[in-house]
Amino acid sequence: MHQYFKLILPAFVPALLWCLTSCNANNKSVKDISHFDKGTNYLYNNDFQNATLEFQEAIREDTANWKAYYQLASVQELTGDYQLAFQNFSKTVTLNPKFALAYYSRSNISGLVGDERSSQRDLKKCIENKKDFFTAVLAKARIDYSKGNLDEAIAGFTEAINLKPDNYLPYSLRGSCKYKKGDLTGALSDFDMEVKLAPTYVMGYLNRSTIYAEQKNFRQALNDLNVANQIDPLLSQTYIYRGFCYYSLNKKDSACLDFVIADKMHNTVAKDYLKKYCGR
């Protein structure tokens, strides 16, 4: 896929704000509320300092309280203390090796510090414990994509689609994989679904226009690019794509006008296109 199709690396989704208790703290007197419940309430109110103190107290009371370790690690992840967050997510899975969310959260930390191997290993553990964890399945497939393991990535994106067939993103990423493997028909089918499921997402039209252009179907590509331009008229790459399609349809004046607009928007390839196709 062209440079315009950018892979989103594993998302930083802290997986916080998840109620590990019955959330009945409000029905108790302040005196009776546990340190864990207090910490959770502080966390929900973005009071990370007091949340940290309460989760630490909960751990002092019960060193096997894996929920407190998880919430403490989540606070540390939010505040950027990745080393401690990693340690406490690790403590969580030691105490509860079946808790999929802790593996997922720890994989996020590994991804943030550039340790893709550890991130992928934790994602595998997460999926082993919870096979329908859509976000983890998608994240693992993205890592395979970024490493060039296209067959594995396609299998992962297909699994994600099976879990959530109404989510456009795995179709988009699987279409990109198929494009890189030379499967234009398969890529077009996936980008069709991307556009159907996310009709206001501009990249879907750009992705599909790329396939149409590869197939020399410049009129269809132009239709998609016009829609993309209506959605986001400030996206310079649309003008580059559309200019190329105009030129291929022998509409040089329209092509050069789009290249000029892209150049004024400081698109990095616009000057080269003006020189190559417009003699400027």
Model confidence at 274: pLDDT above 70: yes
Instruction: Kindly report which listed range (12-26, 108-122, 147-161, 244-258) carries the lowest average pLDDT score.
Output: 12-26
Q: Under CATH, which architecture does the 131-198 domain have?
A: Alpha Horseshoe (1.25)
The two tokens of residue 142 are 């993205």
The per-residue pLDDT for range 69-115, each reduced to its tens digit, is 999 999 999 999 999 999 999 999 999 999 999 999 999 999 988 89
The two tokens of residue 168 are 């456009």
Question: What pLDDT score does 33 carry?
Answer: 82
Instruction: Kindly report which listed range (19-28, 51-60, 72-81, 144-153) carries the lowest average pLDDT score.
Output: 19-28
For range 140-167, the mean pLDDT: 96
Q: Is 91 left (phi over 0), alpha (psi -120 to 50) or beta?
A: alpha
Model confidence at 22: pLDDT above 70: no
User: Any idea where the domains of the chain sit in the sequence?
Assistant: 1-130, 131-198, 200-280
Alpha helices in the chain (DSSP H): 35-44, 48-61, 66-78, 82-95, 100-112, 116-129, 134-146, 150-163, 168-180, 184-197, 202-214, 218-231, 236-248, 252-264, 270-278
Measured over the CA atoms of residue 167, residue 11, residue 230 and residue 172, the dihedral's sign is negative
CATH number of 200-280: 1.25.40.10
For range 242-265, the mean pLDDT: 97
The correct CATH number of 1-130 out of 3.10.620.30, 3.30.160.100, 1.25.40.10, 3.90.1300.10 is 1.25.40.10
User: Phi, psi (5° rounding) for residue 13?
Assistant: -115, 95
Task: Please check whether the two domains, 1-130 and 200-280, share a CATH topology.
Answer: yes
Instruction: Kindly report which listed range (4-13, 57-66, 68-77, 150-159) carries the lowest average pLDDT score.
Output: 4-13
